Every structure is written in C-alpha cells, then in structure tokens.
Amino acid sequence: MAFALSSMHVTSSAFLNHQSIPTKHTGEGEDVSPALTWEGVPKGTKGFAVICHDPDAPLVKEGSYGFVHWVLYNLPGDIQELAEKTPLGTTGVNDKGSNGYCGPMPPEGHGNHLYYFWVLALDHQTSLPEGLTLQELLNEVEPHLLGMNRLVGIYQRG
C-alpha cells in the first residue's frame, strides 16, 4: 500500500487514540463497530474506505501478517463520520471469514493488541462489489489514494 499519511484526523466517541476499546465493540461484547469521525480531508476527496487491522495478531495469511477486522468501502466523499454499527458503505471480508465488522478478541493472556482504524481518502467514488478482501480492496484503491490516517485502539482479553 502506498504510504500517504495525511493531516486528516480520525477520532471516535467510543475511545481516545491509544486508549482501550470498550467491550461493547469487541468479540466479547456486542461486537458492533465504533462510531468514527474524521476531519482535514485532502482536497479532491470523492470517496472513502475504512479498514481495521490488528498487526499484533500472531497470524500470517497469504504473506500478510495480523488480523483484518473490518473492510468497508464505497463510502461517499461528502461524509466525515460513521455512526456506531453503521449501515453505510459496502462490506468486505474480515479474517474471520464473514463480511462486516469483527471486533477485537485477541488470544487470552496475549497482552495488549493495537487496533488500527484507518480512513482512506480517495480521488473518486468507488462502486466495488461486496466481499472484497483487504488485499483486493487495496489493489483497487491504491492508485486513487489521496491521503489516510488512523485512530489506534487498545484491547486485551483477561
């Protein structure tokens, strides 16, 4: 993926950057996606995609490390927030094998894991089919990436 870190700022009403993700948004709770908000969108943005990835998961799949928790795309460029358990966008496949959000649930006793909620700003509105993997999405949007930034949450099982 092209590195296009931008001045876009991503926040959530559910947790602060580098703070604990509430149980509600995990596999141990209601397993619903948190609300996200972003500002400072790059000029020319016409669409967005959102990814949640845990690089601390002890997994390697097809040469990629970690665990993909959420792949969401086809988001319009005129929004700057997603509600909790958002109905917006098109869902891709998470590493659990289902479409949609799959909340944090690291192995017990594995310590803190970091969860990166990435927002990608794109130079066009996508209309991609449902069920793309993270790699398939990145192959499609990388040439159109204007900027990106993330909110990092922390979660640990007992």
Question: Residue 1: pLDDT band by 50, 70, 90 thresholds?
Answer: very low
64-121: pLDDT as tens digits? 678 999 999 999 999 999 999 999 999 999 999 999 999 999 888 889 999 999 999 9
pLDDT beyond 60 at 56: yes
CA distance 48 to 68: 18
> How many C-beta neighbours within 10 Å does residue 32 have?
15
pLDDT beyond 70 at 3: no
Residue 150's domain is classified under what CATH number? 3.90.280.10
Query: Residue 25: which of 64, 83, 92, 95 has the closest Cα?
Result: 83
pLDDT beyond 80 at 59: no
Mean pLDDT of the chain: 93
Domain that holds residue 104: 9-155
Question: Residue 139: pLDDT band by 50, 70, 90 thresholds?
Answer: very high
In the chain, how many domains are there? 1
Q: In this structure, is residue 3 part of a structural domain? A: no
Residue 61: what pLDDT?
65
Q: What is the mean pLDDT of residues 142-153?
A: 96
Q: In this structure, is residue 2 part of a structural domain? A: no
